[in-house]
Amino acid sequence: MLAGYPDRVLDALERLDPGKAIASVLLTPRCDLACGFCAAELDFDTMTAEEARGLLRALAGCGIRNFVLGGGEPFLWPHDLPGLARFAHDELGAFVQACTNGVALPEGFERIRAIDRFILPVESADPTRHDALRRGRPGHLALVRERMRRLACAGRELTVSTVVTRESVDDLPGVAALLVEEARAGVAIHAWHLYRFVPAGRGGARHDGRFAIERDAFVRACDAMKRLRLGFRVFRRDDMLRPSRTEFFWLEGGRLRLGSDRTAPAPPHPGG
């Protein structure tokens, strides 16, 4: 089934849990934001176009046809992200998602039909707090909302992600209200994912004391959001680095790594 692929791909896929249905492929560590809670690492490799296509083809051969293209920031990947999406969507018959902070989206991004769904972040409904958490691009919350409206005008749906920290947990009702407002304006929100902050990666490892949130407080806040009648589903994600149905894939030192490998470091979380 996987004959002809490099040994590093075959060796990794032999360890793939058959219960995994979604592959999150981390294409590059590059990012245009410097989020204090970021769980992404800096020391993994940028995939070549050949490596990325080969991995997606091999994953499709294993029966996985739901791909999340991430990083870092996937739209900073230097090897034609829309082209990779077309390969996955058109040639492999996959459902393709792009996990992006929205800054580097190209003109006309909402018309890239090979990307079935975009994943965009909202950390707070307060622009000042959101921009303080998503550092590096003043006016980032306004930009994300503009991206949402453009997707809505093109008849596209999106998923929203929020990293829940000790500083932002009380902002969740405001985020819920913001998303309801956007939905009423025509934004098609597929789901809202709430991720508990983890002290890992380029930002999170240095800011554990600032952002760490007790699990009970996280669960209570998420359950309160899940009880609201928002018009879209709310998912609680206790561990953004070890999701139950998603496997992370990245290259490190020329070898393919899986997030579930016990000997591997925590996977470099996508989304910048």
Walk me through the domains of the chain, giving residue ranges and CATH numbers: 7-258 (3.20.20.70)
pLDDT tens figures, 106-117: 999 999 999 999
> Considering only CA atoms, which of 106, 100, 45 is closest in space to residue 80?
106
Q: Which amino acid makes up residue 83?
A: G
Q: How far apart are CA 98 and CA 48, in angstroms?
A: 18
Cβ burial of 253 (10 Å; 0-12, 13-18, 19+) is exposed
The pTM (predicted TM-score) of the whole model is 0.92
Q: Which amino acid makes up residue 112?
A: I
What does the DSSP assignment read for 43-54? -SPPPPHHHHHH
| Mean pLDDT score, 203-214 | 87
Cβ burial of 132 (10 Å; 0-12, 13-18, 19+) is middle
pLDDT tens figures, 161-194: 999 999 999 999 999 999 999 999 999 999 999 9
> Considering only CA atoms, which of 44, 65, 63, 56 is closest in space to residue 83?
56
Lowest mean pLDDT among 129-138, 154-163, 201-210: 201-210
What pLDDT is attached to residue 10? Answer: 66
> Considering only CA atoms, which of 22, 2, 20 is closest in space to residue 11?
2
Average pLDDT value over all residues in the chain: 90
Q: How far apart are CA 82 and CA 73, in angstroms?
A: 14
How sure is the predictor about 207, in pLDDT bands with cuts at 50, 70 and 90?
confident
Q: How far apart are CA 231 and CA 24, in angstroms?
A: 26
How sure is the predictor about 2, in pLDDT bands with cuts at 50, 70 and 90?
very low
What pLDDT is attached to residue 270? Answer: 47
What pLDDT is attached to residue 65? Answer: 94
- Residues 199, 190: contact at Cβ < 8 Å? no
CA 127 to chain centroid = 21
| The dihedral formed by the CA atoms of 190, 160, 175 and 219, expressed in degrees to the nearest 10 | 90
Going from the C-alpha of 176 to that of each of 53, 61, 126, 208, the distances in angstroms are: 37, 39, 12, 25
Q: Is the dihedral of CA 140, 78, 31, 23 positive or negative?
A: positive
